[in-house]
Amino acid sequence: MLDRRVLMNLRGLLTPDPARTWVVDRIPDAALALEEGRVAWLGRAADLPAAWAEAPRVDGGGAWASPGFVDPHTHLLFGGDRSGEFNRRLQGASYQEIASGGGGIRETVRATRLATVEELVASGAPRLWAFRERGVVHLECKTGYGLDLEAESRLAAAYAELKRRGWSLDVTLLPAHDLAPEFGGDAEANTRAVAEVWLPELVRRHPGLARFCDVFVETGVFSVDQGRRIFEAGRRLGLSPRVHADELSWTGGAELAAELGAASADHLMFCSEAGMRAMAAAAVVPVLLPGTTLFLGMRDWAPARKLIEAGCQVALATDFNPGSCPCTDPLTILRLGCLQLRMTFEEAFAAMTLHAARSLGHGDLGHLHPGARAEVLLWDVDEPLELVYWVGEPFRPRFMPNGITERLKPQMTQVAAEEK
Ligand SMILES: [Zn+2]
């Protein structure tokens, strides 16, 4: 017997249309027909096809339905936190000043190298629940706080365990997140270690786990040429590129992403107009991270309007990480997209759903058109714009009973019981 259900009693349904760029459908008095956990039909309840007349009903409780959010850029797993340096920054120290004194990412690398796989998993699970409660149904997660083979391998093993428990994740290898302290600033030697030893060995130890690799291409870290060599090594291993590009200064990261046909170029606060045009032509998804700009107190917001005008399908992400954006809330990012990046509500919504999913190669996430996975959020609002307009309101979606929560809950309860 096929599992068929109809989600009824919806005030409305809001979903990007995967066939029409930037179009967000807004269907009042909607219904959603689901077969085997996928959308089969959407429209006004009054127009429900006769073939669905006998299917079991699920009560939407008068809510607005939307697809779950997708977060295409997180650094989910790391040891320790950086709340101490946060106060130093409030007293005037810059991110770069803290980093040059051995703090910043170096502090997180030290703590991550000391963490066991079990400790990394134990710290990741509650973070994933925090994302989940706020409506994120799929995340991209990076390694990158190990900066040596063994610690990067433990991060990969921890992601493998979280996936085994049922979390919907894509893993990106980022051993080139910063120069490893062992190389004493020798970026060339560090590049060779990543490209020739670490990436091949990580893929050998964790076959089938990672889909992407990433490099922090930035002045004083990895150059465009070094990034290119690491990405080419990754591609030989089946990993497609995602690029930390033009974040603190213009380095040509966006141009590199276009040249490589990367899945995404991320940050882009200092992206050139030539880089924007090149990304549009190469269908590279620009992933913008306004939470980081806010948290670092910077004034250079990513040029979302120019990217949209250049023809790019812009995505939004949290950049969840301990140093520059410890935020698990997609609504905060949506609000910053509207208020600081000057995106319309519909643009920001498509960016955090459809375009985010596309940057990860998932055509069945980020929308509720036929074929989509039935990851449906139910929002108790009169009008979806309220999610952005009531700017401090901690809206939490309800989940239509068909998503991954039911599959996860028994396992997580079991894990909690075992840990006691
Ligand atoms: Zn990042």
Plot region of 399 (φ>0 → left; ψ -120 to 50 → alpha; else → beta): beta
Map out the domains of the chain with their CATH numbers: 4-68+366-409 (2.30.40.10), 69-359 (3.20.20.140)
CA of 49 to the centre of ligand 1 (A): 45
CA-based nearest residue to 11, from 348, 386, 364: 386
Q: Tell me which of 216-225, 282-291, 405-414 is least confident.
A: 405-414
Q: What is the per-residue pLDDT across 16-48, written as a single tens digit (0 to 9) for each?
A: 999 999 999 999 999 999 999 999 999 999 999
CA of 74 to the centre of ligand 1 (A): 6
Q: What is the per-residue pLDDT across 350-372, written as a single tens digit (0 to 9) for each?
A: 999 999 999 999 999 999 999 99
Q: What is the per-residue pLDDT across 120-163, written as a single tens digit (0 to 9) for each?
A: 999 999 999 999 999 999 999 999 999 999 999 999 999 999 99
| pLDDT at residue 54 tops 90 | yes
CA of 186 to the centre of ligand 1 (A): 22
Looking at residue 402, its pLDDT comes to 52
CA distance 70 to 227: 26
Report long-range pairs for 228-235 (Cβ below 8 Å, ≥24 apart): 228/256, 228/259, 228/260, 229/191, 229/195, 230/176, 230/191, 230/194, 230/195, 230/199, 231/256, 231/260, 231/262, 232/195, 233/194, 233/195, 233/196, 233/199, 233/200, 234/173, 234/199, 235/260
* CB neighbourhood size of 59 (10 A): 12
| pLDDT at residue 220 tops 50 | yes
Question: For the chain, what percent of residues have pLDDT higher than 70?
Answer: 95
Looking at residue 420, its pLDDT comes to 40
CA of 244 to the centre of ligand 1 (A): 7
CA of 285 to the centre of ligand 1 (A): 15
Task: State if pTM tops 0.85.
Answer: yes
Measured in residues, the chain has a length of: 420
CA of 263 to the centre of ligand 1 (A): 15
Residues 203 and 237: beta-carbon distance below 8 Å? yes
Q: Residue 215: helix, strand or coil by DSSP?
A: strand
